[in-house]
């Protein structure tokens, strides 16, 4: 792989604007090379290369130089150096509070020198940009390191309060009189602040010292004589380690938030978990910052060597010496912090187990498994074969013209359509993951997935193909259209297949065992619980993103309601039900449809109250208008005699909600339709190189948003489809639209993070100083 591609792959995408623009500098070198080739003397161009005798290997001239030995370092001969060979001079220029580096090109009078001048101006701009960004980030991590140090002091003091350790008298060399009891008659002294009656334990408190230059024997001596952490670290600390739950949220509304220390083990355990998570995220930040420094230094080295090769000059040595002596090359703050974080984490959060601590700090990238690809292909092949078998079965048995078709479409089709909606949504999500990864959109960071646990598109396709195979197998075994003439009913076992299938899916989803991507399943369950309990949880991007997915699965939620009615009160052995005639069912049919929109409404209200941003208020109004439209549309569809008033009301409310949603989708969520953009009616920055994709997506979003017109106006666009099947097709089109929306919504979020250089999540700390 060429360095330019490797450079693009390894850079932190949210910081890509802060990296050296390698491609731009490389294109400027191509301009210099083109100019030199066009102005090359004719005599030189006419010179033919020396012929190599047939059968001989052509070797580079450098291979005939004298060998300098394996242990001798190359030292330039000072006698051969001459100031006449200097090409550039790099100097530091002070501008206000900050300094910058400036390169003076000494051969600007030569032919084509203006190209070199432009190259070095751009090179200086890139280096100064990298240097400023690196200094700023180092200052930020230094401040964060100081904050984590204070948090650790408070945590150690809290440990002493909770555990109440015993210190042997022989180890009390460095203890001050006010920290421990001065009674000489006791064999051991408990540290002040422990709870009375708690079991005692021996602990060793670390000594604050620099580990450089200290032998292992000296460290052991230091461990034998230690100084306990002062307990006054808790005097000016407020703590709120109570987990955010609906009960705690309601309690905080009634009274002020918790600020008093209880000194119990649950409080200590929660504080340790939060600080541990903060250390892991801080360590990741330090590693990426170190990688940023290394990659940029390597990029400057590569581009200067290319310059020497193109111009046959020796300017790289001078410039790279400046890079090595600059803050970018000499700063060791990040390296020292990495070492200290490793030592602290291993000692305090891994019980001294170095391998376990580094495994937590440096999670391994998930490996692709051949088993996943094989099973994915196997399940997909089975699904395709089952689809073909169903089509052949329907055609051979002439099911479309059988007498039981109407009963099947009303009672059985809604049961299996639920799995069809889920499979289609998962298929769209797998496509989203594939294209997010292809266009380097950092979806694991945006969603807050733990590193190494996010599902790739292969894993999502595996789950999709597996579920589709089970659903299609149920369909092909459930194609009987005629009742048993003797019992006047269908076979009970066959009629219970959809219910068994639903129970299997729910059981796998909530299975507590570590199988079938347990971490991802529980992550989804937790986010769904946050959505259901809205607004009692703080709204994150993943919460409202999942709630938006639910708004496109209204028909699937209604299918769940139909399951309860059909198997609870219907006569499933005869494939008959009275759900549509039940008033309670009709009311619940409306209620379950507005639940996803209500969740989004209350989420927007909470964000409005917390962030004081009027945009969230407007978004809440949009979802409120959608709720009104859904209610009006559903009531009109359930009317036995369609009235003009109901039609006008349903059409007007649906039209207003659709226009508001279209504007919000394209302008707010996608960030498009910016007439002042460099890309006409799009946005300044685009991830997909083909602009036509964005215009097609906007048109498709508008067309698919208008799918409700068929249901409201009663337009029978496909005559051979049953109305239940047509409703399923309309619901599927909404799922497809949501899949398209997902890609551009996350693309816009990613570009916002890039614009703000936001590459790390903020971890709440337990102690407020």
pLDDT value for 237: 76
- State yes or no: pLDDT of 80 exceeds 50: no
Report the distance separating Cα 160 and Cα 306, nearest Å. Answer: 60
- The two structure tokens encoding residue 719: 């005559």
Output the pLDDT for position 207. 38
pLDDT for residue 404 is more than 80? yes
Q: Averaged over 353-358, what is the pLDDT?
A: 90
Q: Which two tokens stand for residue 565?
A: 């009615």
The stretch 634-654 carries a mean pLDDT of 87
Does residue 199 carry a pLDDT above 90? no
Q: What is the Cα–Cα distance from 86 to 759, expressed in whole angstroms?
A: 41
What span, in angstroms and rounded, lies between the C-alpha atoms of 540 and 538?
6
> Do the beta carbons of residue 670 and residue 693 sit within 8 Å?
no
How does the average pLDDT of the chain come out, rounded? 83
* Of 214-218, 281-285, 690-694, 698-702, the least confident: 214-218
What is the 3-state composition of the chain as percent helix, strand, coil, each rounded to the nearest 5?
65, 5, 35
Decide if 737 contacts 701 (C-beta within 8 A). Answer: yes
In the DSSP assignment, the letter for residue 482 is S
Q: Which pLDDT value is given to residue 167?
A: 55
Q: Is 276 exposed, middle or buried (0-12, 13-18, 19+ CB in 10 A)?
A: middle
When comparing pLDDT for 31 and 260, which is higher?
31
More confident residue, 162 or 141: 141
Q: What is the pLDDT of residue 198?
A: 37
pLDDT of 182 over the 60 cut: no
pLDDT digits (tens, 9 = 90+) for 84-113: 567 788 888 776 567 788 888 887 767 777
Distance CA 103, CA 124 (A): 7
pTM summary value: 0.83
Query: Distance (Å, rounded) from C-alpha 396 to C-alpha 207?
Result: 83
Written as six digits, the tokens of 514 are: 């570590």
Ordered by start, the domain boundaries in the chain are 370-768
Decide: 728 and 413 in contact? Cβ < 8 Å. yes
Output phi, psi for 202, to 5 deg.
-90, 135
Mean pLDDT to the nearest integer, 440-456 = 88
What is residue 73's predicted lDDT score, i.e. its pLDDT? Answer: 46
- pLDDT digit string (tens) for 533-568? 988 888 999 999 999 999 999 999 999 999 999 999
Residue 652 has pLDDT above 60, yes or no: yes
pLDDT at position 252 is 64
Sign of CA dihedral 333, 334, 339, 341: positive
Going by pLDDT thresholds of 50, 70 and 90, the confidence category of residue 225 is: low
pLDDT for residue 235: 73
pLDDT(49) > 70: no
Residues 6 or more apart in contact with residue 648 via CB below 8 angstroms? none
Burial of 351 (0-12, 13-18, 19+ CB in 10 A): exposed
Q: Where are the alpha helices (DSSP H) in 312-404?
A: 316-325, 327-330, 333-349, 354-361, 370-396
User: What angle, rounded to 10 degrees, do the helices at 723-755 and 554-568 form?
Assistant: 140
Among 634, 633, 638, CA closest to 652: 633
Q: Which residues are bridge partners to 682 per DSSP?
A: 674
**714: helix, strand or coil:** coil
CA distance linking residue 4 with residue 21, whole number of Å: 10
Look at residue 164 and give its three-state secondary structure: coil
The string of pLDDT tens digits covering residues 422-443 is 999 999 999 999 999 999 999 9
**Residue 36 and residue 111: Cα distance in Å, rounded?**
9
Determine the Cα–Cα distance for residues 171 and 204; give it in Å rounded to an integer. Answer: 10
pLDDT of residue 213: 44
So what's the pLDDT on residue 168? 52
- Whether the pLDDT of residue 750 is over 50: the answer is yes
Instruction: Provide the b/e sequence for 92-104 (b: ≥16 CB within 10 Å).
Output: eeeeeeeebbbbe
The encoded tokens of residue 763 equal 């971890």
**Residues in contact with 402: Cβ distance below 8 Å, sequence separation at least 6, in sequence order:** 481, 482
- pLDDT tens profile 294-341: 999 999 999 999 999 988 888 889 899 999 999 999 999 999 999 999
Strand 238-239 relative to strand 767-768, pairing? antiparallel
For residues 184 and 651, which has the higher predicted lDDT (pLDDT)? 651
Span 179-187, mean pLDDT? 37
The pLDDT score that the predictor gives to residue 641 is 81
Lowest mean pLDDT among 102-116, 119-133, 182-196, 476-490: 182-196
């Amino acid at each position: 792989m060429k360095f330019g591609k490797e450079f693009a792959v390894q850079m932190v995408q949210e910081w890509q604007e802060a990296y050296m623009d390698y491609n731009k500098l490389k294109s400027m070198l191509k301009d210099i090379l083109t100019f030199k080739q066009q102005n090359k003397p004719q005599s030189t161009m006419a010179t033919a290369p020396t012929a190599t005798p047939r059968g001989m290997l052509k070797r580079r001239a450098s291979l005939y130089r004298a060998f300098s030995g394996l242990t001798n370092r190359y030292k330039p001969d000072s006698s051969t150096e001459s100031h006449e060979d200097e090409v550039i001079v790099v100097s530091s220029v002070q501008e206000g509070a900050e300094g910058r580096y400036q390169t003076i090109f000494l051969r600007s009078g030569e032919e084509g020198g203006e190209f070199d001048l432009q190259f070095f101006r751009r090179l200086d701009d890139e280096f100064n940009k990298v240097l400023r960004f690196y200094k700023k980030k180092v200052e930020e991590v230094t401040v964060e390191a100081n904050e984590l140090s204070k948090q650790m002091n408070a945590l150690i003091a809290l440990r002493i309060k909770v555990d109440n350790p015993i210190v042997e008298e022989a180890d009390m060399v460095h203890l001050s009189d006010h920290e421990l009891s001065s009674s000489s008659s006791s064999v051991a002294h408990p540290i002040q602040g422990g709870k009375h009656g708690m079991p005692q334990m021996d602990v060793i408190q670390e000594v604050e010292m620099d580990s450089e230059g200290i032998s292992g024997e000296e460290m052991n001596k230091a461990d034998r004589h230690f100084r306990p952490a002062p307990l006054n670290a808790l005097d000016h600390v407020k703590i709120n380690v109570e987990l955010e739950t609906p009960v705690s949220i309601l309690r905080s509304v009634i009274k002020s938030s918790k600020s008093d220390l209880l000194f119990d083990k649950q409080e200590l355990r929660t504080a340790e978990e939060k600080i541990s998570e903060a250390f892991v995220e801080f360590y990741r930040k330090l590693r990426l910052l170190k990688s940023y420094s290394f990659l940029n230094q390597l990029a400057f080295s590569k581009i200067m060597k290319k310059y020497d090769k193109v111009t046959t000059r020796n300017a790289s040595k001078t410039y790279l010496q400046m890079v090595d002596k600059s803050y970018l090359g000499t700063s060791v703050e990040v390296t020292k912090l990495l070492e200290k974080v490793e030592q602290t984490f291993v000692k305090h959060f891994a019980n001294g187990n170095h391998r376990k601590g580094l495994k937590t700090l440096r999670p391994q990238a998930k490996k692709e498994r051949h088993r996943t690809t094989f099973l994915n292909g196997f399940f997909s092949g089975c699904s395709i074969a089952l689809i073909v078998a169903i089509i052949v079965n329907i055609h051979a048995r002439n099911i479309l013209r059988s007498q039981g078709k109407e009963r099947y479409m009303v009672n059985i089709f809604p049961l299996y359509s639920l799995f069809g909606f889920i499979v289609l949504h998962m298929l769209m999500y797998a496509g989203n993951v594939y294209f997010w990864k292809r266009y380097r959109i950092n979806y694991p960071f945006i969603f807050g997935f733990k590193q190494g646990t996010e599902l790739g598109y292969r894993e999502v396709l595996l789950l999709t193909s597996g579920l589709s195979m089970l659903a299609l197998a149920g369909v092909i075994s459930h194609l009987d259209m005629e009742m048993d003439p003797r019992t006047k009913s269908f076979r009970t076992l066959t009629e219970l297949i959809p219910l068994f299938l639903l129970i299997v899916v729910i059981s796998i989803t909530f299975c507590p065992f570590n199988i079938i991507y347990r971490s991802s399943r529980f992550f989804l369950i937790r986010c769904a619980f946050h959505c259901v309990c809205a607004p009692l949880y703080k709204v994150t991007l993943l919460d409202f993103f999942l709630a938006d997915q639910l708004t496109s699965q209204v028909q699937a939620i209604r299918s769940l309601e139909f399951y309860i009615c059909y198997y609870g009160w219907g006569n499933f052995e005869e494939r008959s039900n009275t759900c549509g005639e039940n008033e309670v069912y009709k009311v619940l049919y409306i209620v379950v449809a507005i639940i996803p929109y209500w969740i989004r409404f209350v989420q927007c209200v909470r964000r409005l109250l917390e962030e004081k941003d009027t945009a969230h208020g407007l978004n809440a109004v949009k979802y409120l208008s959608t709720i009104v439209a859904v209610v009006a549309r559903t009531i009109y569809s359930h009317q036995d005699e369609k009235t003009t008033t109901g039609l006008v009301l349903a059409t007007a409310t649906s039209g207003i909600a659709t226009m508001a949603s279209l504007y919000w989708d394209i302008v707010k969520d996608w960030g498009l339709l910016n007439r002042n953009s460099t890309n006409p009616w799009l946005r300044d920055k685009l991830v997909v190189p083909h602009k036509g994709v964005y215009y097609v997506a906007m048109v498709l979003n508008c067309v698919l948003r208008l799918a409700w017109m068929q249901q409201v106006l009663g337009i029978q666009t496909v005559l051979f489809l049953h109305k239940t099947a047509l409703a399923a097709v309309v619901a599927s089109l909404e799922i497809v639209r949501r899949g398209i929306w997902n890609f551009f919504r996350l693309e816009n979020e990613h570009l916002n993070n890039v614009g703000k250089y936001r590459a790390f999540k903020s971890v709440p700390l337990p102690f407020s100083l």
